[in-house]
Each structure stands twice: as C-alpha cells, then as structure tokens.
Amino acid sequence: MTTTVLHNARLIDGNGGAPIPDATVVIEDDKISYAGSSAGAPATKDATSIDLEGNSICPGFFDVHVHLYLPGTKGSPLMTAVLPESFRYFQLIERLKVTLEAGVTTVRDLMGVDVGVREAIAAGLIEGPRLLVAEKMLSQSGGHADFHIVAGVDGTRLVGGVLVDTVDEARVEARKLCRTGVDVIKIASSGGVTSPNDQPEYLGVREELVEAIVEEGQHYGGRPVAAHAIGLPGIEAAVNGGARSIEHGYALTDELRKKMVENGQFLVPTLLETLKPDTATPQARAKSEKWHKIAQESIRASVAAGVKIATGTDAGLVPDHGTNLGEVGLLVRFGGMTPLQAITAGTKTSAELCELDDVLGTLETGKLADVVVVKGDPSQDADLVGDNDNILLVIKEGKIKIDRGGFTD
C-alpha cells in the first residue's frame, strides 16, 4: 500500500462549508483515508509526506460539457474534415493532457469522442481526465445537429450529429447509442449558435421526442439526457420532457427555474464560451453576440432561484482545452455566487450531475483521491483556479499528474 500525507494546507472539501485552515489529507493507494484538521490526523508509517506550504487543497474539478474532438482556437472545425480519422485521435493526446493538468480530473464529452477514448484512459493507455461520453447528438432535420451546409456539403456525420424526426426514430437512435455504451444521451431541443441552418430561439427536438429519449435512456441502464437548449421553446421542451441537465439555458424564465428546482434538474450555464465570439461559422459569429449577452444576464436569477448549477464550458468549440476552470470565477462574476459556492458547483454538484457523487466531488474518507492543490486561497478569490499557474499539484486516483509547485522535488 502507498500512503501519501498532504499537510500544511487549507482544506476546501467541496461541501461548501468554511475551509479548515490547518488541514491534512491522507491518501492510501487511490482513496482518501482522512481529510480534516491536522490535529485530528491519524498517525501513518512509511508515508510520503508533502508539505503544501499553506496553499489550498480542493477536490478534483469537473467540466461536464467539453468537445475534445474540436480544436478550440487552435484550428477550425472545418479543418477536421480534411484529416484522417486516426490523426484526429492523436490530436486528443495533448487536449486530454492539458485538461487534466488544469485541475480537471473528470470531463463529460457531449459529442465527438467515442467510448473507446474513455476506455483507453481508464486502462491507462493514455493520460487524461476520467471521461464520460455522449458520442453523438440527436436533433431533428434542420436542427442543431444537422450540418448540411447550403452549398451541398453534409458535415452532419463528421461532427457527430444524428437526425431524428419522429418519436420512433428518436427511440431507435437513443437505444443504438446506449448499445455502444454511452454514459449520457445528448440532444438538442433548441437551435444553436454554431449550427448553420437554424437559430437558438427555434424549437429543436420537441417535447414528445425528448420524453421518448429520456424514457429509453431510463430503460437502458438509467442513462441521463443532456439537452442543448438556448432559446425559450427549446428550454421548455427539455425541462418538461425530463432532461437531467439543461446545457446553456440562456433564456430561462422564473417559471421554468422553479420547475427545474422541483424536478432536481441541473443547469450547465457555459459562461466561459460567452467571453469570445463563436467563430465556427460566419453565422455563429453574428448569433453569439446576442446570445452570449443574454447568458451573462440570466445566470444570476438561476443561481438565486436555487437551480443546481454544474460547471461546463464547451471547451473545444469556443474556449481552448485546458482553460476550463475559468468557468468557476465566472459563476461569481456573472452568477453572484460566493467563491465557495462556485467551487462546490465545479466539484460536488457536477459530480452529482454525473452520478459520481458517491465516489467523487468532495474530499472525504473513502472517496477516490482526486485532489487539486491551488495556490493561495480560492475561497476568497475563485478566479485563482482559472489560471493554470495556480494549479500547483494535480492528483488523480492517488497518482500525481503534475507538480508545478515542486513539492515532490
């Protein structure tokens, strides 16, 4: 058994309570055996002791909305069309690495990579955050997953779109995805900023299709539905149809916020992508200006209404991979959260959305040792976690992945 003792640190355990100023975390193999005040820490023998020099220990963070297959500002989504499939897999190596080294130990990829990438990471073939995958996105013809370009090119399959226009088609395609082993079913119940043929205020898959897909996911191992929904008709369909998470949710109303609270549905507000225009298509640039403003203005009411908020960024589409935790500070800046609330959104609440809260999301005895050491005190300034220079140490399942702090030199 390997024992590691992290000491001389401030503990922010993810539960949202006041940090413990002089704390110790003991890791035995891949699990936490103690997290609390140094005074109460158990005696250990043959342990590796790491002095964290007064910095802060947080749980491993989540980004529940990424697209690892997309290049961010490092390329154009259209360029992927001219690359062989195998080349695109090798591009994932660096994206996975920078994401993990940013302190994100779990990500949910909501269209693009397949379950094989998840399995390769789990098997230790490549380094990266633990992955949950949707593989594809379902929408109706002409909807957000339909990438028929006016000139006649069809990019739908390339981006991972699947078109379903009837309840029966929706059920069949949802079951096919479950058969491949996806963790979550991604749908688009509104139009999108990036898609070439529609507007965010358009209705995407309508409520009866959402409901049918939710039902199939439930039958097939209880797989949740994540709904891309920006404009009001799409959010209505997603909330009323029973999606577990509303991705974006920019046009939410108080009535729908109330329903989300009652139903226990999550909001993933993707604020980081609202800081820069979406340049994936010329249409996207124009649309993003309007919708990003709405996003920044509406999140405060969702936080105030008590909607469960998880952190997701659309990394790969607009934000670059590895910049994920900028989202945490934006929940304070635009959402009015306290820094501790924002950290809880990025850890405990996101783990709950991913149904991993029994093993991840907080630093408690028995949980997996995903640990991030942050320079300074992020419970006073949540923006600290968004700068990778402050991510001093990243541990995933008890193994050190990066040590910028030089603690183990």
In contact, 191 and 143? CB cutoff 8 Å: yes
From the CB of 247, what's the least distance to Zn ion, in Å?
6
Give the separation between CA 300 and CA 304, rounded to whole angstroms. Answer: 6
Query: Residues in the chain, how many?
Result: 409
From the CB of 165, what's the least distance to Zn ion, in Å?
22
CB atoms within 10 A of CB 357: 17
In this complex, which beta carbon is closest to Zn ion, that of residue 160 or of residue 339? Answer: 160
In this complex, which beta carbon is closest to Zn ion, that of residue 63 or of residue 314? Answer: 314
Give the separation between CA 104 and CA 396, rounded to whole angstroms. Answer: 9
From the CB of 319, what's the least distance to Zn ion, in Å?
11
In contact, 149 and 155? CB cutoff 8 Å: yes
From the CB of 260, what's the least distance to Zn ion, in Å?
19
In this complex, which beta carbon is closest to Zn ion, that of residue 52 or of residue 66? Answer: 66
From the CB of 186, what's the least distance to Zn ion, in Å?
8
> Which residue's Cβ has the minimum distance to Zn ion?
314
Backbone angles phi, psi at 240, to 5 degrees: -70, -30
In this complex, which beta carbon is closest to Zn ion, that of residue 109 or of residue 211? Answer: 109
- Chain residues binding Zn ion by CB under 5 A are 314
Upper half-sphere CA count for residue 251 (Cβ side, 13 Å): 21
Give the separation between CA 59 and CA 210, rounded to whole angstroms. Answer: 33
Span between the terminal Cα atoms of the chain, in Å = 22
The DSSP result for 134-196, as a single string, is ---EEE-TTSTT--B-TTS-B-HHHHTEEE--SHHHHHHHHHHHHHHT-SSEEEESB--SS-S
From the CB of 300, what's the least distance to Zn ion, in Å?
22
Give the separation between CA 47 and CA 68, rounded to whole angstroms. Answer: 37
Give the separation between CA 325 and CA 235, rounded to whole angstroms. Answer: 25
Give the separation between CA 236 and CA 189, rounded to whole angstroms. Answer: 9
In this complex, which beta carbon is closest to Zn ion, that of residue 314 or of residue 320? Answer: 314
In this complex, which beta carbon is closest to Zn ion, that of residue 108 or of residue 308? Answer: 108
In the structure encoding, which two tokens stand for residue 241, read together?
């149809």
In this complex, which beta carbon is closest to Zn ion, that of residue 59 or of residue 322? Answer: 322
In this complex, which beta carbon is closest to Zn ion, that of residue 163 or of residue 402? Answer: 163
Upper half-sphere CA count for residue 90 (Cβ side, 13 Å): 5
- Alpha carbon separation from 135 to 59, 104, 111, 296, 348 (Å, rounded): 27, 20, 5, 28, 24
Q: Which amino acid is at 297?
A: E
From the CB of 269, what's the least distance to Zn ion, in Å?
12
In this complex, which beta carbon is closest to Zn ion, that of residue 80 or of residue 379? Answer: 80
From the CB of 400, what's the least distance to Zn ion, in Å?
31
Give the separation between CA 156 and CA 136, rounded to whole angstroms. Answer: 10
